[in-house]
Structure 1
């Protein structure tokens, strides 16, 4: 354990990530499962990005946002999973600076995803409820502006939290009972007053989760009303298919985050808290390529064409 000394008090500068230490016999199972899902997540999201960039037919706002979401998911899961996988094989340590940096990047990406999912819901609302004005309301400059705003907002919000966390002093235990530097497991180890950072984080979490989530619910409520009025047919079926795909991603992502950051008292055991965290760090990111690539005919056709062309070129 690395420490520095101030007077008679030792200041911790390095932490030990305990991971799933409660289940030592299951480490190989967790390692195998997480590795397969992680590699699938990276590959699947990269394929979506390649498909959107390479196909002019996918150069629309919806797929522009989808490519951004795929890029975000790659960064999001790569911030946590490699360190977690290493922890299944050996005792994993992380410096205080590295811990704060990991939380900053991960938290910023999670906040950005909240905003980006809300933007995607708003985009579907405009496309279905205001089709005649859609191209004007969601032009290329508007799309880029919305995405840049989402990214900058995510990093600004969590940057403030990390600045407050950096003011805390850690001088007792250096064992983080988690597989990455999440907010509460780290703050619980502080020996200085953490009320300000906890209150600030709660308020920002409520704002960054409930407002985008409310926008999503409002958008889909209006979409549902509009789609129900459409005669049964291909257009109605396509609208429901696209929206249900997005809602599946949203419900899993927002559900676990709300439990963890707005109502943490709802999780009564540390192990359950880690499993919830495993859902939104490992499982949720793979939903994006699975749901959008397998259920979206346009993406599916482009990927099939790209793979067939690659196999054809390799045969010569």
Structure 2
């Protein structure tokens, strides 16, 4: 079988990732754009992690969870973007079966972790606004550490089940993946084996991974909304809402793209639309998350100012 680059892929243990097809100038433009976004993602999330680790005024549960989110975003973007940049330069690229499954795992595991972490963060906001007098006794450093560790453990363990099943199935030609990374949907299109087991596992795993966290987040914010509406002063309501607006924005972007790609894809959705939606939550979401949490955030700005002054002196 001949790839668009003229390379032959004759075995079922090798695939060819198409990436973004187009003119050379378009691919160069995308390469430059995504390289800037990648550098910005790494720098922005490393800045958040560094500030939360070194600034005492950021040693709170909310910022601890934000730093965990930054770690997840770095893992996700380093798994996807470097290979995608290589795809753009070479107009597609071959990838081994083992490499494909490994990329799929290290993409899906941080995504699963983020589902659980965003749920824990919504609970943190719920306690802070609906039960403020008990907040410090409930959200202790030990409790937050256990919550984060549990999210990492469950997230990386649960997706392993589906990845192991996918790695045991047989693939047949043409071994061309019409995507810029190894993802569940494009891989299922080139299976020779029956995909019923994989689809059943994905459905069953989506209940604890997606649907239950979504219900918890919605329930938390319904209670938060009622608590905010009971605050008598407009200034108090605005202040209370501002403490959870960043998290709500990140949750909305994350789950909107997740549901659009995997849960309820549009009928007749083209591969181009699927790639664009995938770009949003694999590349641009990790880039804008630190911006969202830093924008109009006085604590982050103060920490940056203190750090700059510290190094100047």
Give 5+ residue unaligned stretches, structure 2.
3-9
Deviation at 1:180, TM superposition (A): 0.3
Contact 1:206/1:262 (CA < 8 Å) preserved in 2? Answer: no
Change (3 A) 1:267 1:140: farther
Q: How does 1:192-203 map to 2 (within 5 A)?
A: 192-203=193-204
Q: How does 1:121-136 map to 2 (within 5 A)?
A: 121-136=122-137
- The whole-number CA distance in structure 1 between the counterparts of 2:268 and 2:77 is 22
- Residue of structure 2 in register with 1:288 after alignment: 289
- The whole-number CA distance in structure 1 between the counterparts of 2:236 and 2:288 is 24
Deviation at 1:29, TM superposition (A): 2.0
Match of 2:168, SS state, is coil
- The whole-number CA distance in structure 2 between the counterparts of 1:239 and 1:197 is 44
2:228 counterpart of 1:227: yes
- The whole-number CA distance in structure 1 between the counterparts of 2:268 and 2:146 is 37
Please give the per-residue CA displacement for 1:227-252, whole angstroms capped at 9, x wherever unaligned. 12113355432321121111111111
- Residue of structure 2 in register with 1:239 after alignment: 240
Change (3 A) 1:131 1:289: same
Deviation at 1:309, TM superposition (A): 2.6
Give 5+ residue unaligned stretches, structure 1.
3-9
Q: TM-score, normalised by structure 1?
A: 0.92
- Residue of structure 1 in register with 2:145 after alignment: 144
Please give the per-residue CA displacement for 1:125-159, whole angstroms capped at 9, x wherever unaligned. 00111111112211122111111111111111110
- The whole-number CA distance in structure 1 between the counterparts of 2:85 and 2:268 is 24
Please give the per-residue CA displacement for 1:183-237, whole angstroms capped at 9, x wherever unaligned. 0101211111111102211231243112111111111111111112113355432
- The whole-number CA distance in structure 2 between the counterparts of 1:206 and 1:28 is 40
Match of 2:295, SS state, is helix
Match of 1:169, SS state, is coil
- Residue of structure 1 in register with 2:160 after alignment: 159
Q: TM-score, normalised by structure 2?
A: 0.93
- The whole-number CA distance in structure 2 between the counterparts of 1:20 and 1:176 is 11
Runs ≥4 residues deviating over 4 A: 22-25
- Residue of structure 2 in register with 1:58 after alignment: 58
Match of 2:94, SS state, is strand
Deviation at 1:111, TM superposition (A): 0.6
Q: How does 1:1-316 map to 2 (within 5 A)?
A: 11-21=11-21, 25-90=25-90, 91-232=92-233, 234-266=235-267, 268-310=269-311, 312-313=312-313
Change (3 A) 1:270 1:74: same
- Count of residues in correspondence between the two structures: 305
- The whole-number CA distance in structure 2 between the counterparts of 1:172 and 1:86 is 23
Contact 1:15/1:175 (CA < 8 Å) preserved in 2? Answer: yes
Please give the per-residue CA displacement for 1:41-83, whole angstroms capped at 9, x wherever unaligned. 1111111111111111111111111111111111111110111
Deviation at 1:98, TM superposition (A): 0.7
Please give the per-residue CA displacement for 1:3-29, whole angstroms capped at 9, x wherever unaligned. xxxxxxx75111111001256552122
- The whole-number CA distance in structure 2 between the counterparts of 1:163 and 1:306 is 45
- The whole-number CA distance in structure 1 between the counterparts of 2:23 and 2:271 is 12
Match of 1:19, SS state, is coil
Contact 1:267/1:273 (CA < 8 Å) preserved in 2? Answer: no
